[in-house]
Chains A and B, each alone.
Chain A
Amino acid sequence: MLSDELRGEIRALLDQYEEPRSALMPAFWLAQQSDGHLAAEAISEIAEIVGVDPGYASGVASFYTMYHLRPVGRHVIQVCKTLSCRMAGAEDILEHLKAKLGINLGETTPDGAFSLCTSECLASCGTAPVMLVDDDLYENLTPERVDEILAQLGG
């Protein structure tokens, strides 16, 4: 169930746009930020507020890779794997993370702290290799630097 406060914020979004349907994506963001992921129930409730069919709304949500349709760890690590990061050794960073966290791509550590996945080009090719942890970008990665970051995050 979306909180009353969240429902209010979502209704306020409708004023930003000529057509209410445009508020779907920002509403999904609000729900995900509040819950950690975007649950099917939340999508249905948002659909009702925005005035679209729930099936349509989940079709939109599933198109975009940044909406987590299933629960994820407290921190989501996305390692950029495209071109410049690949050339700068993104694979070594990824292998290091897998070993360190003891999980594969698409998995979450048993304590629920970290989820690991790859990302396509994160638009930071000059400081490759890079990764995003939640909203924060980490650049010029080395395995040592990754260890420091994990330690800071409480891994």
Chain B
Amino acid sequence: MQEFRVLMGHDTPGYASIGVYRDHGGYEALRKALHQMTPTEVTDEVYWSGLRGRGGAGFCTGMKWRFIDRSSPVPKYVVVNADEGEPGTFKDRFIMEHVPHRVIEGILIACHAVGAAKAYIYLRGELALCRERLLTAIEEARRAGLLGASVLGSDFDVDIALHRGAGAYICGEETALLDSLEGRRAQPRLKPPFPAQAGLYGCPTVVNNIETLANVPLIVEHGAEWYRSVGAPNPAVDAAARTGGPPSGFGPDSPGTRVFSVSGKLNNPGVFEVPMGTPMSALFGLAGGLREGLELRAVIPGGSSAPMIGPEHFEIPLTFQTLADAGSMLGSGAVVFIDDQTCPVDLALNLVEFYEHESCGKCTPCREGGQWMRKVIQRIAHGQCREGDLELVRHVSDGIKGKCFCALGESIPAPVNSSLALFPEHWQYHIEHGSCPIGAKEYSHVG
């Protein structure tokens, strides 16, 4: 059922060390990229593979790389977004802990492709084991001549530094991350210019997610067509012909595998790598189904910013397009199964509290809207509902949606509106009775 590509070797003892990784062919893709391919050929291979960003937005990775002007005289940078913090998401942590050298190899190939001599890994502050594994991997790679001057005897010089975050979800937003890396309060920047034109220190910058980069060595080693041999690629994209047709890595094109983070009250929650297009029900099966006595009520298919969808979508193939069509998104690949003993009002409150806490404060709809949304839902959850509160929730939601500076604020209404749409009777019960119909205890840590 699982198809290990990114996670290949994760169950091999010692795979996190450079010796074992190289014994299994590790860093051969880097050698190939440096000695047998030009940077443009590497970028083209990644473009034609149809690889799309695994952080949440799903933008075509090869296209991002193509945006970098290699002829520009200023330095170029590769910045690695390892600020995993979207509620429900824990796959990048797993990747960094288990296959750190695949990540490092992917970063080095990306640097070669876009002409960067320096990469920064922006790692979430809380992830101590990842920090240890990555720092060890960087040092091992340096000692092995894979990092530093004249990598593997080529004319390619490169260095990687790890920058530790300090607790701010907003740093997952790429321009806020860049501000943080520049020693500022992490607030998103106005786009355009996009990071590819003016990113870190105003220089051309590629920002890629951990899982995205861990796919790169495999694509370089085995080729774009191999990459597209699994998953849900758009058949109209012809990676062999490499010309004409629809663009690779957009719309219905979802090739390759995806590392899903699966959680909820399940028998076997965890990280699973499956081909794109795998039905949600299969993922549910891999996670062992819900614990005894529980019934499935809804699914958050792509992290907390992805609207919940009902069980009627249980057979949906997991691709970028199908989830967008279902009114949600594949996002960060974090699938949270919601059971009948979880109060949907409490769930909405919990996630709104999250967004309120993590708002960077830059724009009013997010900063104020999140707070108001939390206050009103808190009243509903705690049996202190006032007349018109439900309308007020919708009103505040309208005041946020489409009016925020970045995707964080835009995400606030997602859990609320989808909870309201899927569980209107449950909300109504709270409002009329001042208590929860399933007897859930409602909690809040704010206010």
Q: Which residues of A contact B163 (CB under 8 A)?
A: 22, 25-26
**Is B107 engaged at the interface, CB distance under 8 Å to the other chain?**
no
> A95: nearest residue on chain B (CB-CB)?
B443
Cross-chain contact of A29 among B164, B184, B354, B358 (Cβ < 8 A): B164
Tell me which residues across on chain B come within 8 A of A127, comparing CB atoms. Answer: 269
- Does the CB pair B182–A21 fall under 8 Å? yes
Q: Contact check, A22 vs B181: say whether CB atoms are below 8 A apart.
A: yes
Give every chain A residue within 8 A of B181 (Cβ-Cβ).
22
Q: Which of B85-93, B148-156, B277-285 forms part of the interface with chain A?
A: B85-93
> Which chain A residue shows the least CB distance to B300?
A83
A84 touches B441 (CB 8 A): no
Q: Does B169 contact A (CB under 8 A)?
A: yes
Query: Would you give the 0/1 interface string for B103-134, flagging 1 where the beta carbon is closer than 8 Å to chain A?
Result: 00000000000000000000011111100000
Q: In the docked arrangement, what's the CA distance between A123 and B163, Å?
A: 18
**A82 pairs with B265, CB closer than 8 A:** no
**Could you say which of A18, A25, A65 contacts B75, with CB atoms under 8 Å apart?**
A18
A59 in the interface (beta carbon within 8 A): yes
A155 to B119, CA, bound (A): 42
**Does more than half of chain A's interface fall in helix, strand or loop, or is it mixed?**
mixed
**Who on chain B is nearest to A89 by CB?**
B265
User: Do A66 and B167 have beta carbons less than 8 Å apart?
Assistant: yes
7 residue pairs, one from A and one from B, having the closest CB atoms: A21-B183, A64-B166, A65-B167, A66-B167, A125-B263, A135-B128, A24-B183
Residue on A with the closest CB to B441?
Answer: A91
Give the number of residue pairs across the A-B interface with Cβ within 8 Å: 143
Residues of A within 8 A of B269 (CB): 125-128
Q: Closest CB-CB distance, A153 to chain B, in whole Å?
A: 16
Q: Are the C-beta atoms of A120 and B354 separated by less than 8 Å?
A: yes
Q: Which residue of A lies closest to B169 (CB)?
A: A120
- Residues of chain A within 8 A of B236, CB atoms compared: none
Chain A interface size range: 35 or more
User: Scoring B residues 71 to 103 as 1 if CB is less than 8 Å from chain A, else 0, what string do you get?
Assistant: 000010000000011111110110000000000
Residues on B with C-beta less than 8 A from A25 are 163-166, 180, 183
Which residues from 340 to 382 on chain B have a C-beta closer than 8 Å to any C-beta of chain A? 342, 346-347, 350-351, 354, 357-358, 360
- CA–CA, A78 and B347, complex, Å: 20
Q: A50 at interface (Cβ–Cβ under 8 A)?
A: yes
Q: Write out the residue numbers on chain A whose beta carbons fall within 8 Å of the beta carbon of B175.
A: none
Bound Cα distance A64, B269 (Å): 31
Q: Chain A's nearest CB lies how many Å from the CB of B9?
A: 20
Partner of B88, one of A60, A83, A119: A83
Interchain CA distance A50-B128 in the complex, whole Å = 26
Measured between C-beta atoms, what is the minimum distance from B390 to chain A in Å? 23
A122 within 8 A of partner (CB): yes
Cβ–Cβ < 8 Å partners of A82 in chain B: 87, 304, 350-351, 354
